[in-house]
């Protein structure tokens, strides 16, 4: 999820305010190792991402173009994951977080933006907020017992292989749906939005990527069925949440199958989603633009009336090739008739890649990832942009359309336990689908630790 930033200068990565707040948090909760079947747990993460954009060629630029000038961007986040077992099968979690950061080009000019962390940061002043507050209830249904390792927002314990899990409260749709072993977490894996989830998945949430709602998961042998409804923003891509979940919402269902192929584990997921919200259609926005020459080109704001339906369907594959190599693929198609509700400006997305374990060269905890992505636009969105229209995140004032294509590679060097340093490179052809601009080169460095 995303929202526009005011232009702010880069501040120190950890300033005195952040240090003071971390110092306040740490003594409050004992970091002693929780028991194997834990009734409580406290974990923390910190991530710093620095990115540099090299200058690139642009025949022209518009109000929402990716700037062709050299620039730097950064994000910093520190998060506490606090969990408590309330009763048998009942777990309560609260997740406070501190963030800060400055985006490239005021977070405009790309479909596949370069840093999944930037959605939570809104300037160079550290901001503390409640990221999540939710209850998870598990009803065991047999099929054998599995041990659950302690993790972020996960208490150590045991559960049945067959079970039903209900999550209710304030969380992210991506906490439950569209997981992929090799490409889901921009704090430890690929950084680009198109590898964090389907770029065409306009999942309902506030501007930081979280909402209120519920999700159910039914695990039965090698199958999982998921369903859920989440709140979206009151206005597209903004922070305040629309709590009228019976009127404006995002629904999703997902079917997952676990399999063994060539002696190696894999999963296939099919996800379908449907949003209902007050959105502008691109047909109406184009008609308004043509009827009002000389008016503000961002006519989507003038034609938001009545509820619109937006939907899409996608496939997500993960497959181990051998003990040291994994393959992933995501592909999704959305209808593309209406403006973006809460994520990014993509109507069709494809991402695939390979992830290598460093065990092959004697570094078992290092990871190398390679990925290719392609984002496309619907005919309706494309015609609006070609006519000079400006949407929320993109708009060069004209468009010579080509799919936006992205190559991303990263190497994560394990330093100590769950501390890693990562180098990342992204090459973007046709930024915001415009063959008259680019290519763009982004160089990144990331420091991440968990404890």
Find, among 406, 407, 404, 444, the residue nearest to 424 by Cα.
444
Is the predicted pLDDT of residue 408 greater than 70, yes or no?
yes
Query: Is beta strand 163-171 parallel, antiparallel or unpaired with respect to 157-160?
Result: unpaired
Q: Mind listing the pLDDT tens digit for each residue in 245-299? A: 999 999 999 999 999 999 999 999 999 999 999 999 999 999 999 999 999 999 9
pLDDT category of residue 17 using cuts at 50, 70 and 90: very low
Tokens of 166: 């209900």
Q: What is the mean pLDDT of the chain?
A: 92
Q: Mind listing the pLDDT tens digit for each residue in 61-99? A: 999 999 999 999 999 999 999 999 999 999 999 999 999
**φ, ψ for residue 251 (rounded to 5)?**
-105, 145
**pLDDT at residue 33, as a whole number:** 42
Average pLDDT over residues 8-17: 38
What gap in Å lies between CA 406 and CA 402, rounded to an integer?
Answer: 12
Q: Mind listing the pLDDT tens digit for each residue in 183-232? A: 999 999 999 999 999 999 999 999 999 999 999 999 999 999 999 999 99
Positive or negative CA dihedral for 241, 247, 248, 249?
positive
Is the predicted pLDDT of residue 37 greater than 90, yes or no?
no
**pLDDT at residue 192, as a whole number:** 98
- 14 vs 417, more confident: 417
Tokens of 249: 């919402």
What gap in Å lies between CA 427 and CA 169, rounded to an integer?
Answer: 38
**pLDDT at residue 28, as a whole number:** 40
For the chain, percent of residues with pLDDT exceeding 90: 89
Q: Mind listing the pLDDT tens digit for each residue in 288-320? A: 999 999 999 999 999 998 899 999 999 999 999
Is the predicted pLDDT of residue 346 greater than 60, yes or no?
yes
**pLDDT at residue 121, as a whole number:** 85
Helices 379-386 and 282-291 sit at what angle, rounded to 10 degrees?
A: 20
Q: Mind listing the pLDDT tens digit for each residue in 359-374? A: 999 999 999 999 999 9
Average pLDDT over residues 102-124: 94
**pLDDT at residue 36, as a whole number:** 67
What gap in Å lies between CA 383 and CA 401, rounded to an integer?
Answer: 10
Is the predicted pLDDT of residue 27 greater than 60, yes or no?
no
What pTM, to 2 d.p., does this model score?
Answer: 0.91
Report all structural domains of the chain as residue ranges with CATH numbers, in order of start.
16-28+38-450 (2.40.160.180)
| Residue 411: partners with Cβ closer than 8 Å, 6 or more residues away | 366, 367, 368, 369, 422, 423
Q: Mind listing the pLDDT tens digit for each residue in 135-149? A: 999 999 999 999 999
């Amino acid at each position: 999820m995303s929202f526009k930033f005011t232009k702010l200068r880069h501040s120190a990565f950890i300033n005195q305010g952040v240090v003071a707040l971390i110092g306040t948090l740490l003594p409050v909760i004992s970091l002693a190792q929780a028991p194997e079947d834990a009734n409580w747990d406290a974990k923390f993460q910190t991530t710093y991402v620095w990115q540099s954009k090299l200058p690139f060629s642009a025949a022209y630029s518009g109000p929402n173009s990716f700037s062709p000038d050299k620039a730097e961007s950064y994000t910093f986040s520190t998060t506490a994951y606090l969990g408590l077992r309330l009763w048998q099968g009942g777990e309560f979690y609260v997740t406070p977080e501190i963030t800060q950061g400055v985006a490239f080009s005021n977070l405009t000019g790309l479909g596949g933006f370069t840093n999944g962390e930037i959605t939570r940061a809104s300037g160079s002043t550290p901001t503390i907020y409640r990221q999540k507050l939710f209850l998870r209830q598990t009803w065991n249904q047999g099929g054998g017992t599995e041990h659950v390792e302690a993790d972020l927002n996960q208490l150590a314990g045991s559960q049945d292989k067959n079970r039903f899990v209900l999550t209710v409260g304030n969380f992210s749709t991506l906490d439950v749906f569209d997981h992929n072993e090799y490409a889901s977490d921009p704090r430890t894996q690929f950084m680009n939005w198109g590898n964090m989830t389907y770029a065409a998945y306009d999942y309902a949430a506030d501007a930081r990527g979280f909402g209120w709602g519920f999700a159910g998961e039914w695990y039965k042998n090698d199958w999982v069925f998921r369903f859920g409804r989440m709140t979206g923003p009151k206005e597209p891509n903004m922070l305040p949440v629309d709590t009228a979940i019976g009127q404006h919402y995002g629904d999703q269902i997902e079917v997952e199958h676990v399999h063994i192929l060539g002696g190696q584990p894999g999963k296939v997921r099919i996800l379908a989603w449907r949003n209902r919200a007050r959105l502008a259609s691109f047909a109406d926005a184009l008609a308004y633009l043509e009827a009002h020459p000389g008016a503000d080109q961002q006519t989507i704001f003038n034609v938001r009336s009545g509820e619109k339906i937006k939907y899409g369907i996608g496939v997500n594959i993960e497959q181990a090739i051998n003990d040291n190599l994994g393959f992933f693929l995501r592909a999704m198609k959305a209808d593309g008739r209406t403006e973006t509700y809460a994520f990014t400006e993509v109507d069709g997305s494809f991402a695939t890649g390979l992830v290598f374990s460093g065990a092959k060269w004697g570094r078992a905890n290092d990871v190398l990832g390679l990925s290719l992505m392609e984002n496309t636009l619907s005919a309706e969105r494309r015609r609006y942009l070609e006519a000079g229209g400006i949407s929320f995140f993109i708009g060069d004032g004209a468009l010579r359309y080509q799919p936006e294509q992205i190559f991303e590679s990263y190497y994560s060097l394990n330093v100590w336990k769950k501390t890693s340093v990562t180098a990342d490179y992204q090459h973007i052809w046709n930024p915001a689908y415009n063959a008259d601009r680019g290519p763009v080169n982004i160089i990144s460095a990331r420091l991440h630790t968990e404890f």
